[in-house]
Amino acid sequence: DTHDRLAAILAEQGGCAVVSIDYRLAPENPFPAAWDDARTSLRWIKDHHSELGIDASRIAFAGDSAGGNLAAALAQAVAGDPTIAHQLLFYPVLDGSCSGPSFDDDHLGFLSSTQMRWYWDQYAPGDLRSDARASPAAAPIAPGTPPATIIVAGNDPLHDEGVAYAAKLEAAGIPVNLQAYEGAIHGFASLFGMIPLADEAVANGTAALKAAFAQQ
């Protein structure tokens, strides 16, 4: 329910089907429940693609915030799968260490550094944060990891880990398009239709999806 509008605009502007996964949430279902749901969902989509009326040879992962975490982790797990065309990450959660410089800044937007650390404690406390399935930034980038579009917000504690992850992908030879919106807050893409920055970010994200599917 929280992301129905965003899923719908990705489908409309991207010219693609969107399967929105209602994965289990912490603290009732901590790591690796959400990861297991993401991995299982991909298998299910491939097995049932004809029922869904979709092309299983052209799949992209997309997500924002915690959904971006799952999309990035899944993209790494299936590196080399030729059916995966792209990963579209809106201000993703990538690094459980919460040590990026932007965590030291004061953020007046939707998400604070204190909140983010608390969320990690509910999802993957302690040593679990270093598991690559929980912290995609902790893993080496495998050959064949899908190309990425990463959208980051300037007024967001997650800003620097998104930038660092883009650099890590690029260093590993993975095509990556980093888009930084310095005046934006965490979660801003869901405000499309209300603020121009969100409209621009969504349009750029869906353009990346269309281009990736066209090349597949």
Residues 61-115 have pLDDT tens digits of: 999 999 999 999 999 999 999 999 999 999 999 999 999 999 987 777 789 999 9
How far, in Å, CA of 207 to CA of 198, rounded? 14
How far, in Å, CA of 12 to CA of 94, rounded? 28
How far, in Å, CA of 145 to CA of 39, rounded? 15
How far, in Å, CA of 31 to CA of 13, rounded? 33
Q: Which residues of 51-72 are buried (b: 16+ CB within 10 A; e: fewer)?
A: eeebeeebbbbbbbbbbbbbbb
- pLDDT of 105 reads 77
Q: Rounded to 5, what percent of the chain is helix, strand, coil? A: 45, 15, 40
Please indicate whether residue 95 is annotated as part of the active site. Answer: no
User: Distance between the two ends of the chain, CA-based, in angstroms?
Assistant: 31
pTM of the model: 0.97
- pLDDT of 161 reads 97
What is the CB-side half-sphere exposure of residue 180 using CA atoms within 13 A?
Answer: 12
Please indicate whether residue 65 is annotated as part of the active site. Answer: yes
Closest to 97 in 3D by CA, of 181, 164, 179, 180: 164
Catalytic residue of the set 113, 156, 160, 190: 156
Report residue 65 CA to chain centroid gap.
6
- pLDDT of 216 reads 84
- pLDDT of 110 reads 82
Catalytic residue of the set 64, 65, 95, 160: 65
What is the count of structural domains for the chain? 1
Catalytic residue of the set 102, 113, 186, 190: 186
CATH number of the domain at 79, please.
Answer: 3.40.50.1820
Which residue range(s) make up the domain with 190? 4-215
Please indicate whether residue 186 is annotated as part of the active site. Answer: yes
- pLDDT of 106 reads 75
The answer to whether the Cα torsion of 45, 51, 52, 54 is positive or negative is: positive
Q: Point out the residues of the chain with pLDDT beneath 70.
A: none
Closest to 88 in 3D by CA, of 29, 28, 147: 147
- pLDDT of 183 reads 87
- pLDDT of 74 reads 98
How far, in Å, CA of 60 to CA of 212, rounded? 8
